């Protein structure tokens, strides 16, 4: 063809086409520092990737993402146009990224920071295959680091059970947003979802059903290890939660002897809370809890074990206090740090460093405020998950089928974005905050598509609040970046709510 003749030199070799100008793409969560340059790097079939030192696993993750997307071979070799480096001198927990017309350089102190840099790089590429044979990446310089160490999502696998493949998919979903903790709510009134050696009825009976009465399920310890390892390959730490002493009907239905009256409870398929309690005065209760916590600690490479502790309305206050004191000590004896919902502030001997997960509203109401400050005064720290803005189960609008509405629903995307974790208990400095979390309770949620629909886009707002160091975030600035990210969600096959006020692409 004429164009082939025009671009062929006398030697018969096609010269490099001139560098196309390429759109500078936006990123969520917003990077801390960014200056765009001139021109673009053209990713094509000749591009190679180089990993220095400890960068190798992250480089493999990157090429495994890009190869199917682009169709290019992207060899991992000793010299590359894309260079990934682990070396000292970069932002703590973050990375430095430079895209020029001749290459891409991504560097971090550790592989976890490098991995977060790869998530940025993914959003600098087009969301889907372009019509050309080259993928243009606009020149830019980014230096980026997280505001908080703990950037969490929680999935309730107790109310409805979700298998290993669903959890892996959710891990990949949240990894895009630089979320680095997945908290699994492993037991509640409606289901016990993790095998515990010596207590087989927990899963055989307690794991058999779920909300609505359908078949439940559970993870064997090998399956759980598989989840932990998959998460680790995405630099995500799994936090296991066994909710106690309330929210325990599934255990009480499994073993008669865990009940004060020695009678097994019936499996529960409804959605009420606050009616069950472990038997605080029985020594067997602590044998049981010690077995559970010791086995969970052995399955958990991360530093945290979550003991729940919320809504224990069927436990007297003195009993609750003695239970929390005793169980937090059991966790501490394993070497792990305790996390509990802020209700554990009733405890009077909380181990130093105990983490309270704050779930009341952005405007604390009486008790929650007192309990949370007791945790802080006991040398503890906080994970902020205020229900009226961070809960993923609150309805987008009241006409929605999915979700609940007790926490001031509807929760708009503007509200989910428009709060500051450090402003809720302003007398305590930002260093008292370990991070943020977006919990997804699943009373109404039963499929992977429903998980994603409830999570997206609200979880993008929470992820940016956890990551972005920007002193002045505004929804007006966030909205177009979120709208652009919609195309990446589409490309990943993620169904999301096209919330009003966002220019969805
Ligand atoms: C409250 S807030 C709960 C859960 C429910 C959720 C539904 C908190 C720590 N517990 O047991 O699933 O509301 O939104």
User: Is there a single domain that holds both residue 155 and residue 137?
Assistant: no
User: Is there a single domain that holds both residue 199 and residue 59?
Assistant: no
Q: State which H helix or E strand residue 304 sits in.
A: strand 304-308
Distance 175 CA to ligand 1 centre (A): 24
Q: State which H helix or E strand residue 372 sits in.
A: helix 366-377
Question: What's the pLDDT tens digit per position in 319-357?
Answer: 999 999 999 999 999 999 999 999 999 999 999 999 999
User: Is there a single domain that holds both residue 196 and residue 106?
Assistant: no
Instruction: Go through 385-408 and write b for each residue having 16 or more CB atoms within 10 A of its CB, e for each that does not.
Output: bbbbbbbbbbbbeeebebbbeebb
**Would the pLDDT of 143 be above 50?**
yes
Q: What are phi and psi of 370, to 5 degrees?
A: -65, -45
Residue 431 designated active-site: no
Q: What is the best residue among 310, 314, 388, 391 to mutate for testing ligand 1's pocket, by most ligand atoms within 8 Å of CB?
A: 310
Q: Model pTM greater than 0.80? A: yes
Residue 219, domain member (yes or no): yes
* CATH code of the domain in which 118 resides: 3.30.379.10
Distance 441 CA to ligand 1 centre (A): 7
User: Is there a single domain that holds both residue 283 and residue 367?
Assistant: yes
264 lines ligand 1 (CB under 6 A): no
The protein residue with its alpha carbon nearest to ligand 1, atom 12, reads 441
- Calculate mean pLDDT across residues 70-77: 94
User: Is there a single domain that holds both residue 157 and residue 124?
Assistant: no
Distance 210 CA to ligand 1 centre (A): 16
Number of Cβ within 10 Å of residue 451's Cβ equals 26
User: Is there a single domain that holds both residue 110 and residue 216?
Assistant: no
* CATH code of the domain in which 438 resides: 3.20.20.80
Residue 2, domain member (yes or no): no
User: Is there a single domain that holds both residue 154 and residue 137?
Assistant: no
Question: What's the pLDDT tens digit per position in 264-310?
Answer: 999 999 999 999 999 999 999 999 999 999 999 999 999 999 999 99
273 lines ligand 1 (CB under 6 A): yes
The protein residue with its alpha carbon nearest to ligand 1, atom 6, reads 441
ipTM exceeding 0.95, yes/no:
yes
CA distances from 367 to 273, 358, 364, 435, 470 (A): 18, 12, 8, 22, 32
Residue 356, domain member (yes or no): yes
Task: Mark which of 121, 144, 167 sits at the end of a domain.
Answer: 144
Q: Which pair of tokens denotes residue 204?
A: 């055989």
User: Is there a single domain that holds both residue 132 and residue 160?
Assistant: no
Residue 175, domain member (yes or no): yes
User: Is there a single domain that holds both residue 210 and residue 134?
Assistant: no
User: Is there a single domain that holds both residue 107 and residue 180?
Assistant: no
User: Is there a single domain that holds both residue 183 and residue 79?
Assistant: no
Q: For residue 106, what are the domain limits?
A: 16-144
Q: Scanning the structure block, which residue is given the tokens 């359908």?
A: 214
Residue 9, domain member (yes or no): no
Question: What's the rounded Cα separation, in Å, for the pair 122 and 131?
Answer: 18
Q: State which H helix or E strand residue 144 sits in.
A: strand 135-144
Question: What's the rounded Cα separation, in Å, for the pair 145 and 94?
Answer: 4
Task: Mark which of 144, 159, 187 sits at the end of a domain.
Answer: 144
pLDDT of residue 92: 98
Question: What is the tally of structural domains in the chain?
Answer: 2
Residue 504, domain member (yes or no): no
- The residue among 107, 41, 58, 173 whose CA lies nearest residue 485 is 173
Considering 60, 226, 311, 415, which one is annotated as catalytic?
311
Residue 438, domain member (yes or no): yes
User: Is there a single domain that holds both residue 270 and residue 124?
Assistant: no
Task: Mark which of 106, 123, 144 sits at the end of a domain.
Answer: 144
Question: What's the rounded Cα separation, in Å, for the pair 95 and 181?
Answer: 19
């Amino acid at each position: 063809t004429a164009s082939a003749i025009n671009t062929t030199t006398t030697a018969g070799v096609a010269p490099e086409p001139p560098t196309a100008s390429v759109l500078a793409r936006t990123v969520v969560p917003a990077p801390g520092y960014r200056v765009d340059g001139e021109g673009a790097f053209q990713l094509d079939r000749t591009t190679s990737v180089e990993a220095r030192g400890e960068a190798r696993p992250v480089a493999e993750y990157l090429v495994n993402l890009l190869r199917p997307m682009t169709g290019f071979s992207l060899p991992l070799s000793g010299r590359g146009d894309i260079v990934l480096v682990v070396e000292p001198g970069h932002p703590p927990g973050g990375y430095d990224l430079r895209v020029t017309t001749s290459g891409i350089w991504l560097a971090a102190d550790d592989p976890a920071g490098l991995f977060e840099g790869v998530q940025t790089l993914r959003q600098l590429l087009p969301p889907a295959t372009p019509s050309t044979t080259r993928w243009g990446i606009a020149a830019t310089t980014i230096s980026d680091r997280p505001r908080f160490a703990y950037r969490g999502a929680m999935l309730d696998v107790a109310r409805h059970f979700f298998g290993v493949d669903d959890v892996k998919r959710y891990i990949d979903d949240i990894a895009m947003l630089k979320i680095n903790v997945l908290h699994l709510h492993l037991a509640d009134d409606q289901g016990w979802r993790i095998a515990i050696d010596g207590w087989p009825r927990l899963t055989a009976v307690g794991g058999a059903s779920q909300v609505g009465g359908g078949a439940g399920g559970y993870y064997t310890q090998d399956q759980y290890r598989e989840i932990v390892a998959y998460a680790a390959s995405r630099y995500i730490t799994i936090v296991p939660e066994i909710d106690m002493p309330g929210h325990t009907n599934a255990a009480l239905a499994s073993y008669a002897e865990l009940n004060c009256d020695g009678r097994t409870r019936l499996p529960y398929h409804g959605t009420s809370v606050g009616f069950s309690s472990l038997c605080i005065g029985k020594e067997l209760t602590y044998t049981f809890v010690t077995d559970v916590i010791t086995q969970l600690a052995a399955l958990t490479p991360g530093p945290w074990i979550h003991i729940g502790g919320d809504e224990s309305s069927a436990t007297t206050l003195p009993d609750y206090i003695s239970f929390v004191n005793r169980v937090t000590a059991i966790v501490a004896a394993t070497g792990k740090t305790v996390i509990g919902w802020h209700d554990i502030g009733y405890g009077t001997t909380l181990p130093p460093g105990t983490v309270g997960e704050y779930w009341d509203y952005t405007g604390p109401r009486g008790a929650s405020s007192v309990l949370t400050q007791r945790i802080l005064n006991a040398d503890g720290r906080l994970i902020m998950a205020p229900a009226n803005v961070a809960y993923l189960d609150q309805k987008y609008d009241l006409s929605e089928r999915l979700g609940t509405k007790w926490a001031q629903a509807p929760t708009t995307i503007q509200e989910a974005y428009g709060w500051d974790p450090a402003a809720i208990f302003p007398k305590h400095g930002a260093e008292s905050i370990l991070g943020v979390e977006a919990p997804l309770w699943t009373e109404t949620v039963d499929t992977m598509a429903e998980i994603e629909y409830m999570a997206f886009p609200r979880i993008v707002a929470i992820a940016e609040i956890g990551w972005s160091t920007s002193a002045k975030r505004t929804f007006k600035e966030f909205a177009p970046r979120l709208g652009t990210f919609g195309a990446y969600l589409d490309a990943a096959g993620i169904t999301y709510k096209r919330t009003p006020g966002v220019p969805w692409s």
